[in-house]
Amino acid sequence: MPKITTKNLNLWYGGFHALKGVNSDFEVNKITAIIGPSGCGKSTLLRVFNRMNDLIEGVRMSGEVLIDDANILDSRADLVALRKKVGMVFQRPNPFPLSVYENIVFGEKIHGRGSSGDKLDEIVEKSLKDVLLWDELKDRLNHPALMLSLEQRQRLCIARLIAVRPDVLLMDEPCSALDPQATARVEELMRELKNKYTIIIVTHNMQQAARVSDDTGFMLLGELIEFGKTDIIFTAPEDKRTEDYITGRYG
């Protein structure tokens, strides 16, 4: 069973039809890249999976989005539980103006689990190890997170997410603010994390999609034009529009 399935998903911003009949399956413990030109609906689709579009006035949706076979568009869906289960990493790293330690335990405290100091220490160590930051930061846990490099901030934001034990990680252009070396390290991290999480990444970087993803979906004007294994999408796409975009002939 796929981790996430969309069935005839439509979304409107007021009168603008932003997503049009999207049907897709996102597999467990895979990295799926969503590619396409600016304004095609990539980020809108990503935000559907944790209902962040609900925060925008005038948004309405139809169809189904199933996560573990439960329709998250149901009016009875628990959005707090959903956003714990489906975390999001944004284009620019956004650590809180707190210490490294307090950034990571923030979610644990917000969810009111009442964890002891030893338990919080354990969560911090495990989360930083999972994002390959423990050795770099173990002696700087009380330092302000905003003093870290951009790459360290992005990995810290991922650590903050996985500290609350989600199932799905959404990444919206997570490397766009990073230099090539830092991008390579974050891509290496993605490959490590897919062993534990289902990852969906939006990217304009064709090379990045080809390097890190197992599956790729190409979007155009709100439609999911083609979806399949990354090596097939990039070497033998079925739709000419996909081929034109990948080869730089689109537009």
Residue 124, domain member (yes or no): yes
CATH number at residue 230: 3.40.50.300
Structure tokens at 47: 């935000």
Containing structural domain, residue 142 = 4-246
Count the domains in the chain. Answer: 1
What average pLDDT does the structure give for the chain? 93
Establish if 17 belongs to a structural domain: yes
Task: Please give the pLDDT value at position 116.
Answer: 73
pLDDT digits (tens, 9 = 90+) for 122-155: 999 999 999 999 999 999 999 999 999 999 999 9
Residue 206 included in any domain: yes
Tens digits of residue pLDDT in 56-102: 999 999 999 999 999 999 999 999 899 999 999 988 889 999 999 99
Q: Is residue 90 part of a domain?
A: yes
pLDDT of residue 21: 97
Is the pLDDT at 248 greater than 60? The verdict is: yes
- With respect to residue 178, please indicate whether it lies within any of the assigned structural domains: yes
Does 2 have pLDDT greater than 60?
yes
Domain-embedded: residue 251: no
DSSP states along 76-126 = T--HHHHHHHEEEE-SS----SSBHHHHHHHHHHHTT----HHHHHHHHHH
Q: What interhelical angle do 100-110 and 150-162 show, nearest 10?
A: 30
Return d(Cα 141, Cα 99) in angstroms, integer. 7
- Whether 84 maps to a domain, the answer reads yes
